Amino acid sequence: MEKKALDEESILKIKQQVVEKLRNIGETILDQINKGENPYLEIPIRHLSNVKFNKEKRILELGSALSKRYYLDVGAVRKFVQTLAVAAISKQLIEEKTHAHLRDIFYMLKKTLPNTNIDLVYEQTESDKAIEDLELITSFSREQLNIGADKRGVVAGEVVIEDNNDIIDWSKMGSGGWSIPSNTEELVFKKVDADFVLVMEKNDLWERLNEDKVWKKLHCIIMGTQGQATRGTRRLLQRLNSEYNLPVYVLTDFDPWGIYIYSVIKFGSINLAHESERLALPQAKFVGLRYDDISRYNLKKHIIKFKDVDFSRLDQISNYDWFKNNKEWQEELNKMKNLAGKVELNALAANGIKFISERYIPEKIKEGEFLD
């Protein structure tokens, strides 16, 4: 797991490896054609049947099942050509030091094939799948292929990075913070002066902790995900964890939705199982609100009754392998079910607007009793 911090040189080297890999794919196909063979691509199967929870590594990952996708196969030819077309675009993007987003790639592929009335893709799901296939074939991530998606999230702390020749000091970002890009693969850390990372789903909480300079007082990095963490945010977290050994603590409401955000950061998500190695963070810990905090912090008044949708979400989460086989989590989730209600972190404001910064978080971190 442990890696050295990536410097400019190693980042550049990876980029060269990506281009080489893409060229290899093309050359292999050319070779097959020259030999008179039916060209094919070999692709790990992404179907749920091939997604497993690795109990040792504690992440969701793909099994080893492979499928061959042939050019001369009516059922496979579209996907074959789409995947190659994405590979060609990706290679060009990298060589031109340019990035594109999923939606752009869709439009770039949406072309009528010469001498036909057939489009290479009709829907974005087709180009998205071709991109995921290319990730699997190359073992490089979409970001390394210069293809991005959502941009959300914000960060502050005593960290200095270099990004596109700019030196950016996360401790001098005022009330706004640095906005996390969709691709954090090629940032270079110049200085990382922190003991841990605090992650939260809501930007209003991030603004609270930033105003109270929690990152300075507790010597940490604060990161807001604004709902589900993007791949850019998750990769940034993983890099801080693996390159600098920083523990990652996730702060959410006491409700199934918050716990799911934690779950994705920690274990990965089913449809990105092939990317878990690069995105999941098995060492992440939960410092969100817990059942016992309701009495401890006087929040009984602020319990919000569950709706049907909350009950069913809670049931789903309770049945995930990684929560099902964890006694502590089963207890916690059962307590939530019996309570039939949720509690928000904002409710701590009833004890004073700075209560969360000055009491809740320091206490939780000091006690170190995190749900895992």
Residues 251, 200 contacting (CB under 8 angstroms): yes
Kindly write out the interface string for residues 128-167 of this chain, putting x where it contacts its own copies by CB under 8 A and - elsewhere: --------------------xxxxx-x------xxxx-xx
Q: Residue 38 CB, nearest distance to its own copies (Å)?
A: 31
Structural tokens at position 339: 């309570």
Phi, psi of 369 (to 5 degrees): -95, 80
What's the maximum distance between 2 C-alpha atoms anywhere in the chain? Answer: 75
Q: Residue 75 CB, nearest distance to its own copies (Å)?
A: 26
Task: Count CB neighbours of 345 within 10 A.
Answer: 24
- Of 124, 62, 9, 123, nearest to 279 by C-alpha is 62
Q: Which is nearer to its own copies, 50 or 203 (CB)?
A: 203
Distance of CA 339 to the CA centre of its chain: 31
Q: Which is nearer to its own copies, 207 or 277 (CB)?
A: 207
User: Is residue 226 involved in binding its own copies (CB under 8 A)?
Assistant: yes
Kindly write out the interface string for residues 285-324 of this chain, putting x where it contacts its own copies by CB under 8 A and - elsewhere: ----------------xx----------------------
Q: Residue 111 CB, nearest distance to its own copies (Å)?
A: 7
Q: Which is nearer to its own copies, 176 or 270 (CB)?
A: 176
Catalytic residue among 107, 122, 320, 360: 107
User: Is residue 91 involved in binding its own copies (CB under 8 A)?
Assistant: no
* Footprint on residues 9-28 left by its own copies (CB under 8 A): none
For 300-349, give the DSSP string: GGGPEEPPHHHHHHHHHHHTSHHHHT-HHHHHHHHHHHHHTEEB-GGGGG
**What 3-state DSSP class applies to 181?**
coil
Q: Which is nearer to its own copies, 208 or 234 (CB)?
A: 208
User: Is residue 120 involved in binding its own copies (CB under 8 A)?
Assistant: no
Question: Whole-angstrom Cα distance, residue 297 to residue 355?
Answer: 10
- Of 48, 52, 71, nearest to 60 by C-alpha is 52
Q: Residue 202 CB, nearest distance to its own copies (Å)?
A: 8
Choice from 100, 137, 194, 248 touching its own copies (CB under 8 A): 100
Provide the residue count of the chain. 372
Distance of CA 198 to the CA centre of its chain: 15
User: Is residue 187 involved in binding its own copies (CB under 8 A)?
Assistant: yes
Q: Which is nearer to its own copies, 26 or 176 (CB)?
A: 176
Q: Provide the β-strand partners of residue 169.
A: 160
User: Is residue 366 involved in binding its own copies (CB under 8 A)?
Assistant: no
Choice from 104, 243, 328, 358 touching its own copies (CB under 8 A): 104
Active site residue 107: yes
Torsion of CA 79, 84, 87, 93, to 10 degrees: -110
The contact set with its own copies (CB under 8 A) reads 93, 98-108, 110-112, 148-152, 154, 161-164, 166-168, 172-183, 187, 203-204, 206-208, 211, 224, 226, 301-302, 344, 346-350, 353-354
Active site residues: 107
